[in-house]
Amino acid sequence: MVCVALPGLAISTEQGQLTGRGLEGFYRAGVRLLSRCRLLIGGREPVPVQARMTAADRARFVGTLRVTSPSAPDPDVMIERIRHADGTERITLRNWTQRPLRLPVEVALGTDLADLGAIAAGADLPERPATVHASGLRWSGPAGTSSVTADPPPADALASAGLLRWEFTLPPGGSFCLELRVRPDGAEPVRAVGRAATSPFSLPEATGDDPRARALLRTSVEDLRALLLRDPTHRADVHLAAGAPWRCGLSPAEALTAARMTLPLGTRLAAGTLRILARAQISTPGPRYGMIPGARRDAGPHLPPGCTGIEATLLFPVLLAEARRWGLPEQDTGELLPAAERCLTWLRTTVGDGTYVHDPHPGGPARCDTQAHAHRAALLGADLLDAHGRPGGAGLRQWASELRTVFRRDFWISDPGGGRPAAARAQDGRPVPHLSSTAAHLLDTGLLGGGAHALGLLDKRQTDHLARLLGTPAMDSGWGLRSLGVKEAGYNPFGHRSGAVRVHETAIAVAGLAAAGYEKEAGALLRGVLAAAEAFGHRLPEMYAGEQRTDGSAPLPHPAACRPAATTAASGVLLLTALAGIRPDAPAGTVTLRPVRSAPLGEIALTGLRVAGASFSVRVSRLGLAMVEEAADGLQLGV
């Protein structure tokens, strides 16, 4: 159970007690400030009754104790613990008996002040010695200092044992509250960006026939707000951390992807993310000029690790172009345009006299999804350049046209079933034939003016076959899209690139299939993800096992998955807004709706979105007809 309000984390098991084992503890900026917080009442641990997340940043644990008659079945005392990611724990004792109870209470505390990365790698570090400090205890180590203060102050504090002690007398039916505050020494309470009045997100609501839509959207937005971080040197700019607990920092490709998926909630996150990455862009002359640096990422059993910097560099102009369509002010667009031009310069320089974008290392393959990203960047980048009177658009369109011609020939593998796209082409031209979820990126062509989608790399016949393949049981697990088909060599339902369901790629597939008119396949994948979301309490992990769904089954969690994760939380927004097919063109003052006519979730209304800087609401009926119910003054409905 991970409570998140970055830079704060609280990681617990469902038992409620923090034992110091595994990842348990309170964290600030990746350092474990408290690893052990064990509550004893009268020398006994409460019996766990219930544990649940009440918000992205809070968990509630309930336990009970029998005090008056150990042999009686009914508990006398209820213990509630509210644990918050900001480093606060509120413990409430309630006496349900008809007489006063005198209860000795102890809290055993300790910490190793270890780094989260070291803990995740299996390091077993000793606890630091404690000292009595103010109304609690204090620990020091190379990573800094940490303290726990209590309100009310303890009657006794034993540093050698790490114990705080109280003795409370509870009247019949009465209660008593104890609050613990965990802080780095001298630090202020965590001020989560997403809880501030300056949060970049609107507060949308989904209502309609399927109550799971409302729960998914609400939880998705809560998780997004919990993962927000400020740029330390430009405090007005915010971005999304990749996910908790493993990746609480900036991952450029994932930050851009999540910002793009959340454009229906406003453009401020996109603007902040773009400004942060523009400052990190390589501006020195050389082959990497214009590139946004990014780490390497495992690509599964069939391909070498890929460079996320390539994906980020190609996503940058796409996000800027689409944010402008959703209502990013022209002043912001103009300020960011030079960085987008540098990304496009990197693209043309990297391609050179060739056609494909290869991995940057010698002998690197040309990946299918990389070509999809590059093609979209060229077309949306050309649109952006033209809109601002900048040169280069014609050359980008010409290259994109040439890429479409050769891609349809070189990347399509013919077979008796109608063919499939290759996952990649090796340097010598050999295709890598396995079918994976990265093929869904071929359906994500990007938004141009007037509500039109850009051309795709595949022709109509090839797109038909790809849509059919993504809808087969080999790819659709019933919980979402597998990252590798079950018939492919190396398939592993838990493999994060070799069979597990990756939620954000499923969302990309749903949106792409719906936009291209393949509503049956889109609807099946959407319903599968909603069923998985319900099983996970509507807080989807970034991935889960791709085992086939059967009657009465539940999706299997992946032990290494972030939960929450930025792209997964953002996927909840994309999945539901795709049903309405919202295609804005704020510079032209229009919005076009292309709803999913089959209405796979019945009637659905989405309120509190943002288009052209104003509140936007839309309703899709059971017949698949869409109606705008709220919009900016002067915004015209396109056709």
Residue 121: pLDDT over 60: yes
Closest CA to 373 of 398, 405, 414, 407: 407
Backbone CA torsion sign across 12, 16, 21, 26: positive
pLDDT of residue 138: 96
Q: Answer whether the bond into residue 416 is a cis peptide, omega within 30°.
A: no
Predicted structure pTM score: 0.93
Confidence of residue 149 (pLDDT cuts 50, 70, 90): very high
Rounded to the nearest 10 degrees, how much is the dihedral formed by the CA atoms of 221, 120, 35, 194?
-20
How many whole angstroms separate alpha carbon 452 and alpha carbon 460? Answer: 17
How many whole angstroms separate alpha carbon 447 and alpha carbon 587? Answer: 13
Confidence of residue 507 (pLDDT cuts 50, 70, 90): very high
Mean local confidence (pLDDT), 288-302 = 92
> Residue 233, exposed/middle/buried by CB under 10 A (0-12, 13-18, 19+)?
exposed
Residue 194: pLDDT over 80: no
Mean local confidence (pLDDT), 283-297 = 92
Q: What angle do CA 226, 229, 233 make, to 5 degrees?
A: 165
Q: What is the pLDDT of residues 342-360, one digit of tens each?
A: 999 999 999 998 899 999 8
How many whole angstroms separate alpha carbon 9 and alpha carbon 119? Answer: 14
Residue 197: pLDDT over 60: no
Find out whether 462 and 515 touch, Cβ atoms under 8 Å.
no
How many whole angstroms separate alpha carbon 237 and alpha carbon 232? Answer: 9
pLDDT of residue 125: 87
Q: Which residues of 552-561 are buried (b: 16+ CB within 10 A; e: fewer)?
A: eeebbebeeb
pLDDT of residue 192: 65
Report how far apart, in Å, the C-alpha atoms of 84 and of each of 26, 169, 191, 385 are. Answer: 9, 27, 12, 47
Confidence of residue 240 (pLDDT cuts 50, 70, 90): very high
Find out whether 500 and 544 touch, Cβ atoms under 8 Å.
yes
Mean local confidence (pLDDT), 248-274 = 97
Q: What is the pLDDT of residues 53-77, one digit of tens each?
A: 999 999 999 999 988 776 678 899 9
Tokens 């991952």 belong to 251
pLDDT of residue 195: 63
Reported residue count of the chain is 639
